[in-house]
Structure formats: structure tokens, C-alpha cells
């Protein structure tokens, strides 16, 4: 009954008019917001604040409902998603997923994400698959992928220099400070769910696994190794398939990370676990953002500024360079060329053949000149693959993940910020002709962290 009352209240409140700007005496504090997801039923927006370990909830007119501190030890909350009764949030540095009650917004359980027992003997069907498990000590011998005889001597990362460390990121190596180290965290990053089938799924960046859990009891059902830092996922519920993207190149204080793979994996899920169906090897590097419209998979190259459209039935792939300005593209005609101009992060397919693409932007090099691309979100027509409109943010905003409340034509963008400024969340009104001139509401950091 309480959930029905809440739904009625939020439906009413979300139809009220909201002022565009915040009041002068309102102060907001964010530290690198990351994930955003919309509860379509109750019209609640959830925002993960990666840098301080908080999860915030808002009404769709921007009223703060509640905040909860999930990761007090490491302050690193990334991907977030919801079912009809629960909220799921990744604690990336603590190797766990927090599950909250959606009605009370209180913690129900922390699930430790672990993939420390090798199943390479059963999962690796050929020598190429076996290579994915090298970081676990597995090796190919007499037509089988053999598990390690012991766990000793598996940390090979310390021998690598910076360049070799990046090349061996698929073995869990990460450059930290001035040495190459085996990352000790599973780094759960992103979650998708199929509530009807009864499963939730999470990517583990540093181990290269995708893991499947039961919604009923949060027990591990299955796992599969795709290697080299899986990042985001899209889900095809009609065919029980996951589409898995790759981690983009990132430089953070004292560490560097990012995948060197161009592969998108198609993975089938069932009560028996996970199995690889297909691997789409695309030309564009660092395919990070990903979504699915029922037939086509859309993925976004963070380094070559490309929208990649893959026919899930035939595998046919097309490439479209993102546009920096009218008549000027960020990406090149050759999708394999890294440009690092707009640096797209995420994409969201919206019914009506619209694809929303968030772009981090920032400084880039063009020839011998240093230039700047504003952080923005772009709307694309997925039939014609033409740009509809763009909305530009402030220079310190750094647009990150995105979700939509489609029945009200509202787009919610998490702004990661830069140097303690510009981070927060913004609500934009959109149509198939473009964006409204001003945001409906926004909550932006007022003070540096």
C-alpha cells in the first residue's frame, strides 16, 4: 500500500511546473557523480556519487528525497540499477554490490562479488579462449585448458614497465603510482537486470568476468570470462542475451586503466548460467557506451568518437562519426583512428528512434594546436544516423551516464565534474526535434571537494 501511495504522490508532483534555476541560498556538494537511473513507475531518479560513496534519490522535479552512504571504506559507488522492489549499486573499490529496499531506501544486503575460483577447464573450449585465463594461471595442454596447480607466482604484473602494463591489462594489471600491480579488487562496475527471468548481472572490470545472480536470494548462478576489462552492458530480454562493452582509457590519480580490446560479447543467460554466443570484433577502439533497441546494438567508441550500429541478427556494422560542430566531425571516416575529441561516455536508446549520447569533452590536440570540445549530450536519429541536436554544458561539467523518463520526455544526465566544480545532475526536456532551450532543473556543485 505504501508503494502505491508513493507512486500516486510522485506522479502528481512530477506533473507540477518547476523553475529552471536553483535558488541563491541552495548549496550542493557532489564528488564525481557517475551513474543515473530512472524508476519509471514511481518517477524517482537515483544518482550515484562515485567520489564520496553516496547514493542520492530525487523526484523528477529535482526535490531531494534521501541520501545514503554506501561505501564508507573506499567511497567509490559506480553503476546503479533498479528492480520493482530493490536498488542495486556497485561499490567498485570494495568489490561488493549494495542492495537497498526501494520503498524505505535502506540497505538490505551487501553482496561480495568474487570470481576467484578458476573454471577455465570447463569454459575454455580452445586455445584462444584459454588465453583469457592466463592471469589465473591456466595454460593450454593436449587440447585442454588446464587450471593452475597452485596460486603461487600468478602476479606477473610487477615485471612490466608502463607500456607493457597497459598491454597486459587483460591479466588484471594496472599502473599505480610508478609500478605495475595486480589489482586486488574485482571492481564491479555496472548492473543490468531481467526481473521476469529472475536474474541480475554485474561486470567485474579487473578480473574480466560477467557474473549472474538470482534476484530471489542473491546467490551466484553463473559467470563467464570475456577478459580485458568488461564495462557496461545492454540486455536483450526477449532472447535472454547480454551485450558487453569495454572499459575506456582512463587516467586517475596514481593509476591508469582501460581495455585494449575492440570486442563486444553477446552472452546467453539461463538457469544453467552464462555462455558465449557471439563476439563482434569492430574497427572502433574502446567501445564503451552501449544500448539495444530490439534489433540493433549501439556502442560508442570513447577514443575514436564513433557511433557503431551493429545488426544483432546479421552482424552487419556501420560507423558514424560524432559531430563536434555543424559540418565538423570529432571522429574520422576511418573508425580505427583515435581522435580523443568528444570522448563519448554513454548512450541511451529512446523509443521513437532517438539515441542520446553523452560526451565528456575537454582539451584535445588537432595537428599542432591545442583545442577544446565542450562537454555535451547529443540526440541522434537512429534511422538516418543524423544529428538532431546537442546540448552543451559548462567547461567543468564532464557529462557521464544518462537515462530517460520517456513518458514525460525528460532526459537525466549525471555530470562528473572536474576539479571539484560542475558535478551534479541535470534534467533536460527533449523531443524528436531537439532539446528545450533551458534545463528543467539542475543540481550542480557549488563548492570544490
Domains of the chain: total: 1
Q: pTM to 2 decimals?
A: 0.84
CATH of residue 120's domain is 2.130.10.10
- Which range of residues forms the domain containing residue 391? 32-444
326-348 confidence digits (pLDDT tens): 777 888 999 999 999 999 999 99
Within-domain flag for 23: no
Within-domain flag for 21: no
Give a three-class secondary structure readout of the chain: CHHHHHHHHHHHHCCCCCCCCCCCCCCCCCCCEEEEEEECCCCEEEEEECCCCEEEEEECCCCEEEEEECCCCCCCEEEEEECCCEEEEEECCCCEEEEEECCCCEEEEEEECCCCCCCHHHHCCCHHHHHCCHHHCCEEECCEEECCCCCCCCCCHHHCCHHHHHHCHHHCEEEECCEEEECCCCCEEEEEEECCCCEEEEEECCCCEEEEEECCCCCEEEEEECCCCEEEEEEECCCCEEEEEECCCEEECCEEECCCCCEEEEEEEECCEEEEEEEEECCCCCEEEEEECCCEEEEEECCCCEEEEEECCCCCEEEEECEEECCEECCCCCCCCCCCCCCEEEEEEECCCEEEEEECCEEEEECCEEEEECCEEEEEECCCCEEEEEEECCCCCCEEEEEEEHHHCEEEEEECCECCECCEEEEEEEECCEECCCCCEEEECCCCC
Within-domain flag for 319: yes
Maximum mean pLDDT: which of 167-176, 244-253, 393-402: 393-402
Average pLDDT, rounded, for the chain: 85
Within-domain flag for 299: yes
Within-domain flag for 10: no
175-224 confidence digits (pLDDT tens): 655 667 665 567 899 999 999 999 999 999 888 899 999 999 999 999 99
Within-domain flag for 404: yes
139 versus 269: the higher-pLDDT residue is 269
Within-domain flag for 432: yes
72-119 confidence digits (pLDDT tens): 776 789 999 999 999 999 998 888 999 999 999 999 999 999 865 556
Within-domain flag for 11: no
> Which pLDDT score is estimated for 145?
78
> Which pLDDT score is estimated for 207?
85
Amino acid at each position: 500500500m505504501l508503494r502505491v501511495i508513493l507512486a500516486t504522490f510522485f506522479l502528481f508532483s512530477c506533473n507540477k511546473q518547476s523553475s529552471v534555476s536553483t535558488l541563491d541560498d541552495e548549496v550542493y556538494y557532489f564528488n564525481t557523480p557517475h551513474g543515473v537511473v530512472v524508476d519509471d513507475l514511481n518517477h524517482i531518479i537515483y544518482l550515484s556519487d562515485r567520489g564520496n560513496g553516496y547514493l542520492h534519490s530525487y523526484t523528477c522535479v529535482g526535490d531531494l528525497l534521501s541520501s545514503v552512504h554506501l561505501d564508507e571504506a573506499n567511497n567509490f559507488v559506480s553503476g546503479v540499477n533498479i528492480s520493482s522492489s530493490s536498488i542495486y549499486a556497485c561499490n567498485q573499490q570494495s568489490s561488493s554490490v549494495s542492495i537497498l529496499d526501494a520503498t524505505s531506501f535502506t540497505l538490505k544486503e551487501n553482496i561480495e562479488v568474487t570470481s576467484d575460483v578458476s573454471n577455465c577447464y570447463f569454459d575454455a573450449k580452445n586455445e584462444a579462449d584459454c588465453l583469457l585465463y592466463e592471469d589465473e594461471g591456466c595454460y593450454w595442454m593436449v587440447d585442454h585448458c588446464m587450471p593452475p596447480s597452485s596460486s603461487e607466482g600468478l602476479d606477473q604484473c610487477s615485471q612490466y614497465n608502463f607500456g607493457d602494463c597497459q598491454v597486459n591489462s587483460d591479466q588484471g594489471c594496472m599502473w599505480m603510482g610508478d609500478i605495475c600491480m595486480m589489482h586486488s579488487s574485482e571492481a564491479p562496475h555496472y548492473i543490468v537486470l531481467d526481473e521476469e527471468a529472475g536474474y541480475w548481472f554485474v561486470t567485474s572490470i579487473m578480473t574480466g568476468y560477467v557474473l549472474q545472480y538470482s534476484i530471489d536470494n542473491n546467490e551466484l548462478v553463473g559467470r563467464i570470462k570475456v577478459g580485458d576489462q568488461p564495462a557496461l552492458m545492454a540486455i536483450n530480454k526477449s532472447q535472454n542475451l547480454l551485450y558487453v562493452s569495454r572499459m575506456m582509457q582512463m587516467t586517475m590519480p596514481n593509476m591508469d586503466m582501460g581495455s585494449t580490446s575492440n570486442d563486444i560479447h553477446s552472452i546467453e543467460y539461463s538457469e544453467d548460467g552464462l555462455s558465449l554466443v557471439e563476439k563482434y570484433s569492430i574497427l572502433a577502439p574502446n567501445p564503451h557506451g552501449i544500448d539495444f533497441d530490439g534489433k540493433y546494438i549501439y556502442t560508442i567508441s570513447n577514443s575514436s568518437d564513433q557511433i557503431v550500429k551493429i545488426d544483432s541478427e546479421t552482424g552487419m556494422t556501420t560507423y558514424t562519426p560524432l559531430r563536434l560542430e555543424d559540418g565538423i566531425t570529432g571522429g574520422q571516416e576511418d573508425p580505427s583512428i583515435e581522435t580523443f575529441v568528444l570522448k563519448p561516455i554513454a548512450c541511451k536508446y529512446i523509443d521513437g528512434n532517438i539515441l542520446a549520447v553523452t560526451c565528456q569533452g575537454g582539451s584535445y590536440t588537432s595537428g599542432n594546436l591545442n583545442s577544446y570540445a565542450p562537454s555535451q549530450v547529443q540526440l541522434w536519429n537512429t534511422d538516418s544516423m543524423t544529428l538532431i541536436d546537442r546540448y552543451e554544458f559548462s567547461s567543468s561539467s564532464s557529462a557521464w551516464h544518462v537515462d530517460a523518463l520517456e513518458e514525460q520526455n525528460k532526459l537525466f544526465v549525471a555530470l562528473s565534474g572536474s576539479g571539484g566544480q560542475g558535478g551534479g545532475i541535470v534534467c533536460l526536456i527533449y523531443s524528436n526535434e531537439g532539446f528545450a532551450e533551458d534545463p528543467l532543473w539542475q543540481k550542480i556543485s557549488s563548492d570544490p571537494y
